[in-house]
A and B are shown apart, each in its own frame.
Chain A
Amino acid sequence: MLRRYVAKRLLIAIPSLLIASLIVFTLPRLIPGDAVQLMLAEKAYAKDVAELRAKLGLDRPLYVQYVEWAGRALRGDLGESLWTRRPVLDEIAQRLPVTLTLASLALAFALLIAIPVGVISAARQDSLADFVARSAAILGLSVPGFWLATLLIVLPAIWWGWRPVGDFVEFSRDPLGYVRQIVLPAAVLGIAASAALMRLTRGMLLEVLRQDYVRTAWAKGLAERGIVLKHGLRNAIIPVVTLLGTQLPQIIGGTVVIETVFGLPGMSRFLFDAINQRDYPVIQGVNLLVVSTVVLINLAVDALYAVLDPRIRY
C-alpha cells in the first residue's frame, strides 16, 4: 500500500514541479536589472548588447527560452552559468556538499535540543526547568539568525581576540576540520528550528500525557520514563514530524544567510551571488533543485507517519 501511495504522490509531484519550474524560470527575470547590462558594465564581455544577448540566447521569446530550458533540465542539463561560463550542474555539485552538511548538522542540532528539552519541559510542567526552556524557546524564535551569527563572530574577537571562524577547509584536506568549522554555523541555523520544534513537542506531549491510557499507565505503576517516552512521546511525535517537514525548507533557506556570514562556499552562497549577478541559469538551477528536494522531503515525511504510527495505513 505504501508503495502505491508513494507512486501516487510522485505522479502528483510532476505538475507541482512543472508549476514550480515555471515560477523558478520567470521570477529571476522579474528582478529589476538585466544580466547583459550588468555583464557589460562589470566585465565588458562584448561591446554590443544585442550581440551578447543573442550569444546567451536571451533574445528569444520567453516561452521559447522556458521550453528549451525545461527540456534540457529534464535531461539533466541545467545550462551554463552566465558568469563563470561553467555548467550549472558542475557548479552546484562542487558546492552542494557544504550546504548539505550545514543543513544536516543544523537539523541534528534542532532535534537534539528540541526533543529532550520539549520532553523535560512537558514532564516537569510549570517547574523552573519548564519556565527556562519556554523562555529560551521564545528567545530562539525571536532572535534573527544573522544577528546571532554576527554576535558569535564579533564578541569572542573583541573579548578574547579569538575568531571562531577560520579559513575554510575542504573535506578532502581535513575531514574533521571540515565538520568542525560547520558546527557553529549549524548551531545558529538550528536554533530557530529547535525552538519551534521544542514548543510543539512540549505542547503535544502535554496533551497526550492527559489522555486516559496514560492515566491507566500511571495507575498500573509503570515507571515515568516508560510512560513519557514510550506511551507519550511516540504518540505526540507525528505533528512534530509534520513540523519538521516544514522546518527543513526553512533551514535550507536559512543557509543563504549563514553561509554568507560564516564565509562557507556552499550552494546557497552561490545562489546569493547569482541573484546579485542576475545569473539566470544558476538561479533557476539551484531553485529547481531546492524545490525538488522540498517535494521529496514532504513525501518522505508522509511516508514516515506510517512507520511512527502503525495505526496509519495508506
Chain B
Amino acid sequence: MDIRRRELLALSGMALASATLAPSTTWGQTPKRGGTLSLRTWDPPHFDPFQTISYKTHIALSFTHSRLLRHRAGPGVVPGTFPIEGDLAEAWSQPNDTTYVFKLRRGVRWHNKPPVNGREVTAEDVVFSVNYFMTVKGNANAYMLRSLDKVEAPDRYTVKFTLKEPFVWFLDMLSNPHAVAIVAREVLDKFGDYKKPEAVVGTGPWMLETYRPNVGLTFVRNPNYFVAGLPYIDRIETTVDEDNASRIAAFLSGKYDLGWEFPATINRTDWVQIKDTLKQKRPRLQTLEFPAPVMSHVSMRTDQKPFSDIRVRYAMSLAIDRQAIIDSVFEGVGAMNPPVPAALREWSVPFDKLGEGAKYYAHDPAEAKRLLAAAGYPGGFPASMCFTTYGSTVLVDSMQLVQKDLKAVGIDAKIDQKEYGAYIATCFYGKFDSITYGPQTGFLEPDNFLFGQYYPGELKNQSHINDPVVADMLVRQRRTADLAKRREIIFEIQRYLAKQQYYVQMPSGVYIAVWEGALKNYGPNMGYDYGGRLMAAWLDR
C-alpha cells in the first residue's frame, strides 16, 4: 500500500463525519419543554471534580456545574471542533499577553439547595474555585492552569487572571470540561470536600435529584438556570449498566436515547451486529461518525541506544502495518494519525501536507530491515514493551499486531504487562527502559498532545525527547495568538515530528454517535460535556 492510499484513508475518516446521516435539523421547529431523556452512565467514584480525573465524575457534573467558558454545542458544531462561548462569563477581554478579564453574568444563582440555597454567584466564587483547583492536594488536572500566576476579583462581577507567561490555550483550558467547575465555598465548609452527592450544588442546567449507588442518577431541570428558557428537557435519567448484553438489550428496546458508550456512541463491533435490527426497531435513530481522539502510540527511550538512532525509529514506524490494524481491530474503519490525531480536524495536519515524513507511515518491512542493518542491527534487537490492557480487547488486539510487526523486522519485543495503576505510575510517565505501547488521553486541543509529549522535562514526555528545535516551536505556538499563524506552526511541528518519529503513531477508530430521532437540536462531539451538549436539545415525542 502506498502513502496515497493512506492519505485517502485518513481523509475518508474525517469525511465520514459529514458523509453519514445528517444530524437532526431543527430549523423551523419550535422547541418543546418537558420530557425525560434516558441514558447509560457510569457510577461516579465520588462527586469531587478536583479529586479525580475520572470521566465518570466529570460526565455527571457536566449536568450540574458551570464553568467560566464552555464549548459551543449543537448540530451546527462539527465534531472535533470546539468553539468557545461564555458560560458564567458573558464577555471577556485580553488587555495584554498575560492578562484576561472576564465579566460575569449578573443574577446567576446557585441551585436552590443547602448550604448555598440559591444565593447569587459572584466573582469571589470564581476566584475561590480557581484557587482551590490550583492548590487542593491531589488535583491531577491542576497542570491545565499551570501558567496562572494569580486570579483576582476587582469587583463583584469581574474576574482578572494574570499569567506567568503567555499561554494562548488559556481560554481552551478554562472551557474544557476537565477543568475548573465553579463550586461554592459553603459546600466545602459544610462537607469538607465535594465528594458526597449532597455536595453537588452548582449553577448548571440540571440539579442532581437522586443518586443511587451502582443504580443511577436522576437530574431535574434547574428552574433558575441563567439562560432563560433552558434547558428544555425536564429530567435526565441515567442508569449504571455494567453489562454489555444488558446495554444492547436496553438500547434495542428503546430505553436509552443516546449510544451507550462514551461519548454517546456505539462500539463498531456491536453496531455491525445490531444495526439491521435497529433499523426495524428504532427507525428514527440518527447517527454521525467522526474519528476518535484516542490514539495509541509506541514510545521509546530516544535518549538511549538503539532508539537514539533515527534509522531505528524509522524502521519501527515502517514495520507497522496500520491498515491491518484498522482492518482487524476497527472493523475496517479507522483514521490515520499524524502526531496530532486526525480527530482534531482543525489542528491535525492532513497527510498530503505532512511532507517528507509522511513516507514513514507506510508499511515497508523490507526498508525497515535495511534501515536496521544500516544502523548496525542486521538481525534486529530484543526489546521489552511495557503495556497494560485498560480492560480493552481492542487495545490487546492492536498490541499483538504491533508486536508481530516489530518481530517481522527483527525487533523482538517481549511484553512487560503491568497492572493499570503500576503502568500509570511508571511507563505512562516515561519510567521504562525500552519501549511502551498504549493509548493517550483524548485531549480536545493539540497543545496537550504536543507540549506534554515533546517538551523536555514534561511528565508525559514518554520518549524522553530533548530536541531544541521542537522545544522552540512548542513554545512559539503557545505564544502565537493569531489562529492561522498558530495553526501553521502546529502543522510545521507535525511535519518536523514526522521526520523524527519519536513516537510511532497508530490509527484511531471512528466513533459512531447514535441518538434517538426525537431528540432535537443535539449534536454529538467528543469530551465529557454531556450536559453542555444536551442543554439546548429538546424532545419531540
Binding site for B on A (CB under 8 A): 32-47, 49, 83-85, 94, 149-150, 153-154, 156-158, 161-165, 167-168, 170, 260-263, 265, 269-270, 273, 278
Q: Judge whether B246 and A47 touch: CB under 8 Å.
A: no
> Do A37 and B421 contact each other (CB < 8 Å), given the known contacts A153-B249, A157-B248, A157-B253?
yes
CA distance A270 to B45 in the complex (A): 13
| Given contacts A43-B54, A163-B255, A265-B212, A38 and B421 within 8 Å (CB-CB) | yes
The 10 A-B pairs at the shortest CB distance, nearest first, are namely A37-B421, A33-B419, A41-B424, A38-B421, A157-B249, A44-B140, A163-B253, A265-B214, A157-B252, A150-B245
Q: Are B420 and A263 within 8 A (Cβ)?
A: no
For A278, give the chain B residue with the smallest CB separation.
B421
A269→B240 CA distance, assembly (Å)? 12
Q: Is B352 an interface residue (CB 8 A)?
A: no
CA distance A44 to B414 in the complex (A): 30
Query: Which of B53, B242, B425 is close to A260, meaning CB atoms less than 8 Å apart?
Result: B242
Q: Which residues of A have CB within 8 Å of B421?
A: 33-42, 278
Give A44 to B424 CA distance when docked, in angstroms. Answer: 11
Complex interface residues of chain B between 31 and 81 (CB less than 8 A to chain A): 45-46, 51-54
Bound form: Cα–Cα A149–B424 in Å? 35
Interface residue tally on B, bucketed by range: 35 or more
* In the complex with contacts A42-B53, A44-B138, A263-B424 CB distance below 8 A: no
Report how far A157 CA is from B140 CA in the complex, Å. 41
> Would you list 17 pairs from A and B whose C-beta atoms are within 8 A, ordered by A residue?
A33-B422, A38-B420, A39-B421, A41-B420, A43-B54, A47-B137, A94-B213, A150-B245, A157-B252, A163-B249, A165-B250, A168-B212, A263-B215, A265-B214, A265-B215, A269-B242, A278-B421
Minimum distance in angstroms from B369 CB to a CB of chain A: 36
Q: Do residues A33 and B248 form an inter-chain contact, with CB atoms below 8 A?
A: no
How far is the CB of B475 from the nearest CB of chain A, in Å? 26
Say if the beta carbon of B243 comes within 8 Å of chain A: yes
A102 shortest CB reach to chain B, Å: 14
List chain B residues, Cβ under 8 A from A85. Answer: 195
Which A residues are CB-close (under 8 A) to B245? 149-150, 153-154, 261
CB distance from B335 to the nearest CB of A (A): 28
Q: Is B241's beta carbon under 8 Å from chain A? A: yes
In the complex formed, the residue of A with least CB distance to B244 is: A150
Contacts of B176 in A (CB 8 A): none
User: Complex Cα distance A34/B215, Å?
Assistant: 27
Chain A residues whose CB sits within 8 angstroms of the CB of B249 once the complex forms: 153-154, 156-157, 163-165
Give the distance in Å from the alpha carbon of A180 to the alpha carbon of B530 in the complex: 33
What residues of A have a CB within 8 angstroms of the CB of B195 in the complex? 85
Contact with A along B408-423 (1 / 0, CB 8 A): 0000000000011111
- Asked if A163 and B281 sit within 8 Å, CB to CB, the answer is no
Pick the contact of A42: B45, B139, B243, B252 (CB < 8 A).
B45
> Does the CB pair A41–B425 fall under 8 Å?
yes
- Tell whether B216 is near chain A: CB-to-CB under 8 Å: yes
Q: How far is the CA of A45 from the CA of B138 in the complex (A)?
A: 5
B286 at the interface (CB under 8 A from A): no
A162 to B245, CA, bound (A): 13
- Report whether B139 and A263 are in contact in the complex, using a CB–CB cutoff of 8 Å: no
Once the chains bind, are A158 and B252 in contact (CB under 8 Å)?
A: yes
Closest residue on chain B to residue A42 by CB atoms:
B54
Give the residue name and chain of the A residue nearest to B52 (CB). Answer: A43
Q: Tell me the bound Cα distance from A228 to B274 in angstroms.
A: 51
Contact of A270 among B52, B139, B214 (CB under 8 A): B214
Known pairs A34-B421, A164-B249 / 17 extra A-B pairs, C-beta < 8 Å: A33-B420, A37-B421, A38-B421, A42-B53, A43-B138, A44-B53, A149-B245, A157-B248, A163-B252, A165-B249, A165-B250, A167-B216, A167-B237, A168-B215, A261-B246, A263-B242, A265-B212
| B434 sits at the interface (CB 8 A) | no
Query: Is B246 touching A161 in the complex (CB atoms < 8 A)?
Result: no
Given that A41-B420, A163-B252 are contacting pairs, would A262 and B45 also be in contact in the complex, using a CB cutoff of 8 Å? no
Contacts of A163 in B (CB 8 A): 249-250, 252-253, 255
Cα-based distance from A194 to B416 in the complex (angstroms): 45
Would B239 and A167 count as touching, CB distance under 8 A? yes
Chain B residue, CB-CB nearest to A51:
B137
Whether, in the assembled complex, B332 has its beta carbon less than 8 Å from a beta carbon of chain A, the answer is no
Task: Take A153-B246, A154-B249, A161-B252 as given contacts and tell me if A34 and B422 are in contact as well, using a CB distance cutoff of 8 Å.
Answer: yes
Roughly how many angstroms separate A34 CA and B213 CA in the complex, as a whole number? Answer: 24
Q: Residue-by-residue, is B457-473 near A (CB-CB < 8 Å gives 1, otherwise 0)?
A: 00000000000000000
Q: Are B243 and A261 in contact (CB under 8 A)?
A: yes
Q: Which residues of B contact A261 (CB under 8 A)?
A: 243, 245-246
A265→B213 contact, CB < 8 A? yes
User: Which chain B residues lie closer than 8 Å to A161 at the CB level?
Assistant: 252-254, 281
- Which of A35, A167, A269 counts the most B-chain CB atoms under 10 A from its CB? A167
How many angstroms from the CA of A260 to the CA of B242 in the assembled complex? 7
The smallest beta-carbon distance between B446 and chain A, in angstroms, is 24
- Report which of B139, B216, B237, B243 forms a contact with A44, defined as CB distance below 8 A: B139
In the complex, whether B277 has a CB less than 8 A from a CB of chain A is yes
Contact yes or no, A37 B240, CB < 8 A: no
Q: When the two chains form their complex, are residues B246 and A40 in contact, meaning their CB atoms are under 8 A apart?
A: no
Contact A44 B215 (CB under 8 A): no
Give chain A residues whose Cβ lies under 8 Å from the Cβ of B425. 37, 40-41, 49
Chain B: which residue is nearest A149 at the CB level? B245
> Least Cβ distance of A257 to chain B in Å?
10
A301 to chain B, nearest CB (A): 32
A158 CB contacts on chain B under 8 angstroms:
252, 274, 277
**Given A33-B419, A167-B215, A270-B214, A43 and B45 touching (CB < 8 A)?**
yes
Q: How far is the CA of A213 from the CA of B246 in the complex (A)?
A: 53
User: What is the bound-complex CA distance between A164 and B248, given in angstroms?
Assistant: 12
Q: How far is the CB of A150 from chain B (nearest CB, A)?
A: 4
B257-282: CB near A (< 8 Å → 1, else 0) gives 00000000000000000100100010
Of all chain B residues, which has the CB nearest A39?
B421
Q: Is the CB of A260 within 8 A of B424?
A: no
Among B53, B214, B240, B422, find the residue whose CB has the most chain A CB atoms closer than 10 A. B214
Whether B212 and A37, one on each chain, are in contact in the complex, defined by CB atoms closer than 8 angstroms, is: no
Question: How many whole Å from B120's CB to the nearest CB in chain A?
Answer: 32
B216 and A46 form a contact (CB under 8 A) = no
